[in-house]
Structure 1
Amino acid sequence: MAIFQAYSGTIIAIDDFWTENVEKVGCNKLMSVTGRDGSMVNFVVRPCTYFVDHVTVKVGDTVTGFFDASAPVPLIFPPQLQAIVMTRNTQNQNVKVDYFNRQLVSSDGMLKLNIASSTKIVLENNQSFTGNLENRNLIVIYGATTKSIPAQTTPYKIIVMCTQV
């Protein structure tokens, strides 16, 4: 099971990520992101990386990259992480990528989902999802939350991650 973590910052460079496979040259990107504290991370962005709202990001955008903290990472500086989900940060919109249990509480116990009839629930390819949300990896897009622990929210949109992470 993936253990999702997030890193937020400003994109300072986007370059091609070179692989040994000539046919894939140009398909993978390396996004260098600098955090507010001056730290830096390089996200490897592959064609399967999900971009929330299917946005195109550019240098200067503030983004959050979600990655599997249990995945192996090369011992280089800056850290080079495989981006699973990327989002361009916007006001009044929060994004959480996590495993949600039977009670729709995130694995870190910090967010509980209250589903409304207005909540749009889709697959990564934007097709309707008609299954059960329990015990799944979800990309949750939401606004305000309660101040309780776990915080509760009624999401605007949920993207169900059916692909293996």
Structure 2
Amino acid sequence: MNMIKFQSFSGTITMISDFATGQTGEGESCNKLIAVENNLRGVVNFVVTPTTYFVDHVMVQVGDRVTGYYDGNAPVPLIYPPQYRALVMVKESPYQNVKVDFFNSDLVSSDGQLKLNISPSTQIVLTNGQAFTGNPANRNLIVIYGPTTRSIPPQTTPFKIIVWC
């Protein structure tokens, strides 16, 4: 199994259009191309498919601030603006933070920037919304959380963990 190297790009949606992949059976309107521009005028086009996971299943529109997560190890066509297949899309919210990463056996993210302290109130689910009953360690996780401690690494008790199988 190839290891996903989650990378992200954040900005404001400037355009949403239908995107035809040319694969048979995939209709014109099942895939979207979402253009995102950041403060430095950098632009990324995210290819959004029916399997792209939208945190909280929100619908996005032009003007929304979002972060798109993609696999940094995946091949990318050499075009401008760069075009990535979005694995996870997050609409920014003032009330919650989201981190998408691989968390090790100590529940520390691969970039060392977040440690999870799971409490009985932490909801742990699969991307299809069903309960996850295994151990979330050593997996790719979508973590929805609030405040963090000022420790190194910062620690949080997440509201919700979505296990990316």
Bin the TM-score by the shorter chain: over 0.9
Alignment RMSD, CA only?
0.9
Structure 2: any 5+ residue segments left out of the alignment?
none
**Residue 148 in structure 1 maps to residue 148 in structure 2:** no
Corresponding residue for residue 60 of structure 1: 63
The structural deviation recorded for 1:22 is 5.2
The structural deviation recorded for 1:18 is 1.2
Corresponding residue for residue 11 of structure 1: 13
Q: Counterparts in 2 of 1:4-153, with a 5 A limit?
A: 4-21=6-23, 23-24=25-26, 25-153=28-156
SS at match of 1:53: helix
TM-score by length of 1: 0.96
SS at match of 1:109: coil
Runs of 4+ residues deviating >6 angstroms:
none
SS at match of 2:79: coil
User: CA separation in 2, counterparts of 1:50 and 1:29?
Assistant: 13
User: CA separation in 2, counterparts of 1:20 and 1:66?
Assistant: 23
The structural deviation recorded for 1:21 is 3.1
User: CA separation in 1, counterparts of 2:45 and 2:33?
Assistant: 6
User: CA separation in 1, counterparts of 2:81 and 2:134?
Assistant: 40
Structure 1: any 5+ residue segments left out of the alignment?
none
Aligned length: 162
Which string of whole-angstrom CA distances, capped at 9 and with x for unpartnered residues, describes residues 32-85 of structure 1?
000011110000001000000000101111101011111111111100011000
User: CA separation in 2, counterparts of 1:21 and 1:81?
Assistant: 17
Which string of whole-angstrom CA distances, capped at 9 and with x for unpartnered residues, describes residues 98-149 of structure 1?
0000000001111000001111100001111100111000000001111222
SS at match of 1:26: helix
The structural deviation recorded for 1:92 is 2.5
